[in-house]
Amino acid sequence: MKGGRNRADESLSACGHAQADVSPYKDQEKTVENLQKILSCIRPVDKDYLKRAKLRLNSLTKPLESLGKLEIVAQRYAAIKEDLNPSIDRKMIFTFAGDHGVVEEGVSAYPGEVTIQMVLNMLAGGAAINVLAKHVGAEVTVVDIGVNHDFEPAEGFVINKTGYGTKNFAIGPAMTYEEALKSIKTGIDLVDECAGKGVDIIGTGEMGIGNTTPSSAILCVFTGLPAREVTGRGTGIDNATLQKKADVIEKAINLNRPDTEDPVDVLAKVGGFEIGGIAGLIIGCAFHRIPVVVDGFISTAGALIAVALNPTINEYLFYSHLSSEAGHKQMLDKLGQGPILDLDMRLGEGTGAAIAMSIIEASVKIMTEMATFESAGVDTAL
């Protein structure tokens, strides 16, 4: 970051952590305590930087606020980075992959094996996320956090399994509490590895057949909305399957009784490994003051978990687009946030995050590359 100390170092120092030990996980027994330490170190975005960034934008050769949301995005990015002359030179997208036991209930149009096939497609560069990430100059890392398959190592591929798919939450919890914590830790650790390597912005993504079902369940738990109102067609299911999917979600919530006061319990009871990984990635980014671009419906479920753990985290998030998946608007309403784009997308993978990164970068360039009235010799408004 330009113009000062690394803010993560300051946070670590203030919280009493050794700078070399960014993620202080030592053993499973201390995982909850250490997660709380990280969460407690996340501080609000400096409002003074928001004001200073707005003054900078108001001095540019344009009518006041004439670039609308682009100016708001630029202000937020500058405030997160605490830099009035920021740049976006290195972009990364993490696509978390995991399987879901609830697929056994017939809630998806595709079999679980498609998760494996799509991971291989991503590694071969043939998926939509590969194309769009290349277009915007972002690096893609695929993370096997819970696919029911043993992959061979590959470039741009992290294998860090929480398990071989979650359990069927229609008959019991999706995972143990310890597994939920482990999935969150995986996301945090990935950011720890990026923090000192000049990564300016990180996007979330996911792949997992059946994962709109746990995402809808998480939304129901945090909002109290009925499953029939927020459950969508996912991969393109018919009306009968849609009804079954909503029924399965209601059954799972009634059976498992997730505790809304404990977001980790919600993740464990009705979530998914990739959702936990995304929540951890978001937490790690907020800790290190790296702006996060949240993809669509499933990624926003991860954001719900992270923000429930510490509401301040919401200040570090850019929500890339409004998914056409039912329930996404309710998620964003719950978070009090609006999307950058509305393109009727519902693919996932990080595709919306990739496109939104280009908008965020354009916003930053407006702030840093446009002439001011004074430098251009242009008269200001009367």
Task: Find tokens 């409002």 and name the residue.
Answer: 47
- How many Å apart are CA 303 and CA 209, to the nearest integer? 19
Our CA dihedral for 40, 41, 44, 49, rounded to 10 degrees, sits at 170
Q: Are 148 and 131 in contact (CB under 8 A)?
A: no
Classify each residue of 279-293 as buried b or exposed e, where b means 16 or more C-beta atoms within 10 Å of its C-beta. bbbbbbbbbbbbbbb
- How many Å apart are CA 314 and CA 270, to the nearest integer? 22
From 71, 105, 349, 361, the catalytic residue: 349
Task: Find tokens 């009705």 and name the residue.
Answer: 270
Which tokens hold the place of 297?
A: 């419906």
Angle, CA of 113, 116 and 119, to the nearest 5°: 145
Q: Are 302 and 204 in contact (CB under 8 A)?
A: yes
Active site (annotated) includes residue 349: yes
- How many Å apart are CA 76 and CA 156, to the nearest integer? 30
54-58 contacts at long range (C-beta below 8 A, 24 or more positions apart)? 56/84, 56/367, 57/366, 57/367
Classify each residue of 14-34 as buried b or exposed e, where b means 16 or more C-beta atoms within 10 Å of its C-beta. eeebeeeebbbbeeeeebeeb
58 by Cβ neighbours in 10 Å (0-12 / 13-18 / 19+) ranks as middle
By annotation, the residues acting in catalysis are 349
